[in-house]
Amino acid sequence: MALRRCWRFAGVVPRLIWNNSVLPGASVPGGQGFVPSLINSHPGCKTTVLLPCRFSSGPTSTEVSYEELKKLLAAQKSVVIDVREPWELREYGFIPGSINVPLGQVNAALQLAPEEFKEKFGGEMPQPTDHIVFSCLAGIRSKNALNAATSLGYNDVQHYPGGWQDWMKNEKHNS
């Protein structure tokens, strides 16, 4: 009896709390989350049940390996942004072809006019449709930069979790 009462409200409550402007399975800019799918609980019944469905506005994998990054750099198919501080690049080195935008400036930098970005950071400003790979020393700051870029509408973003430490290890191993 209690179950029957529950099912009677199953179709009403979701309609009251769910904003119908987002369709099930839709991609929502700015992150990951759930969009409910509606299904009928019984062919003859008019009630509906909400089922969570995963959605993502980013690439399937947010991480890129050393080998993948080497290929992307060789093909010039990505903008690589190193989010370490300038002194770190001077002291330890940097990935050839990368642009230095310190983590604290990523949010503002990705909102600059392209001319301002080039003048301040010495490289072409990535467009929201460009593939961007963020890098740092060991993958912590690059993940934060990825989240910032995603929140600004950049959809094709990844980060190099090994960072400069992994890059140097692999470069020494491969030379």
CATH at residue 80: 3.40.250.10
Q: Where are the alpha helices (DSSP H) in the chain?
A: 2-10, 12-17, 66-75, 86-92, 103-109, 114-121, 140-151, 163-174
The reply to whether 53 belongs to the active site is no
Per the structure, the complete domain to which residue 124 belongs is given by 66-174
21 and 39 part of one domain: yes
Question: Is the domain of 34 the same as that of 73?
Answer: no
pTM of the model: 0.66
Number of domains in the chain: 2
How far apart, in whole angstroms, are the C-alpha atoms of residue 47 and residue 100? Answer: 55
Residue 18 tokens read as 């769910």
In a domain, 169, yes or no: yes
Tell me the pLDDT of the chain (175 aa) as tens digits.
Answer: 454 444 444 444 333 333 333 444 444 444 444 334 333 344 454 544 433 333 444 445 899 999 999 999 999 889 999 999 999 999 999 999 999 999 999 999 999 999 999 999 999 999 999 999 999 999 999 999 999 999 999 999 999 999 999 999 999 887 6
